[in-house]
Amino acid sequence: MKSLVVAPRFCGPPASANGGYIAGLFASIASGTVAVRLLKPPPLAVELQVHEAAGGSLELRHGDEVVALASPATLDVVPPAAPTYLEALSASTHHTDPAANPFPTCFVCGPQRARGDGLRIFAGPLPREPRTVAAPWTPDASLDQGDGKVRAEFMWAALDCPGYFAASADSRLMLLGEFTAHVDRRVHVDERCIIVAWSIASSGRKHVVGSALYDDNGEPCARARAVWIEPRAPAEKS
């Protein structure tokens, strides 16, 4: 039986894994493209077991609880033309107020994470594109798989949080519900990258976004589709 352990470094909320990271780590066990549905907050520093399920799916369990489900899927997002690195850098300067970030220690977008510890990807609005955000990113050496290139699960993580900022311009609380990504090529450590995320659709508490990671030449290296869910207000719970 295969298993995963998420180190505390890779948190989203303080006590659970970053959604994009755990989705990428889980997807690395599957064959082909999968949609990873997060059913429970993935705990940190404990063993999570991988079990086969019906229809070619995989379950990620913590004891008797199913934390996540990976199911065969297709990924139909088409990345837009990339902004320049300088345009992404400029957009990042208009990132939301750090005090408004609901998870300031998030591995991907947490402003309280130091360089070389968190990814520090701060996506801000692109003036020429409605409901679209962008950010620059230069992956550091701690993300190296051992061949000078970034591990795929870190590229999944990098595609995650920018989608939140595309869906939630007012920093309202949302949680990642489902994530599907594909890495076309793993980028190199210390390679300048550009990340873009855009809103696809919103209905009630459900928000669908796309995201893409490009190299400095504007060539797409990875893409993703995510579903973000606003938690029910206390009065809405039965």
| One domain for residues 97 and 64 | no
Closest CA to 222 of 18, 11, 89, 24: 24
Give a yes or no: residue 79 inside a domain.
no
pLDDT of residue 235: 55
| One domain for residues 190 and 221 | yes
Whole-angstrom Cα distance, residue 38 to residue 10? 16
The shares of helix, strand and coil residues in the chain, as percent rounded to the nearest 5, are 20, 35, 45
CA distances, 130 to each of 133, 134, 228 (Å): 9, 12, 19
Q: In the block, which residue shows the tokens 């050496």?
A: 141
pLDDT of residue 171: 79
Residue 186 near residue 155, CB atoms below 8 Å? yes
Over the stretch 50-107, which tens digit does the pLDDT of each residue have? 999 988 899 999 999 999 999 999 999 999 999 999 999 999 999 988 888 889 999 9
pTM, full prediction: 0.94
Would you place residue 33 in the very low, low, confident or very high pLDDT band (cuts 50, 70, 90)? very high
Last residue of a domain, one of 72, 94, 128: 72
Q: Is 199 helix (H, G, I), strand (E, B) or coil?
A: strand
Would you place residue 237 in the very low, low, confident or very high pLDDT band (cuts 50, 70, 90)? very low
β strands within 2-131, DSSP E: 3-5, 34-38, 47-52, 58-62, 65-72, 124-125
> The domain spanning residue 116 has which CATH number?
3.10.129.10
Q: What's the structural domain count of the chain?
A: 2
Whole-angstrom Cα distance, residue 48 to residue 3? 5
| One domain for residues 150 and 228 | yes
- Residues 34-58 have a mean pLDDT of 96
| One domain for residues 37 and 97 | no
- Residues 174-191 have a mean pLDDT of 97
Identify the burial level of 212 via C-beta atoms within 10 angstroms of its C-beta, where 0-12 means exposed, 13-18 middle and 19 or more buried. buried
In terms of pLDDT, which residue wins out, 172 or 147?
147
Determine the number of helices (DSSP H) and then strands (DSSP E) in the chain: 3, 11
Give a yes or no: residue 13 inside a domain.
yes
| One domain for residues 91 and 41 | no
Give a yes or no: residue 42 inside a domain.
yes
Last residue of a domain, one of 23, 51, 72: 72
Q: What is the mean pLDDT of the chain?
A: 94
| One domain for residues 103 and 126 | yes
Q: Classify the phi-psi angles of 80: left when phi > 0, otherwise alpha if psi is within -120 to 50, otherwise beta.
A: beta
pLDDT at 138 over 60: yes
pLDDT of residue 199: 96
Last residue of a domain, one of 72, 93, 122: 72
Over the stretch 206-223, which tens digit does the pLDDT of each residue have? 999 999 999 999 999 999
Domain that holds residue 36: 3-72
Q: In the block, which residue shows the tokens 């949609």?
A: 35
Neighbours of 112 (CB within 10 A): 13
DSSP letter assigned to residue 79: P
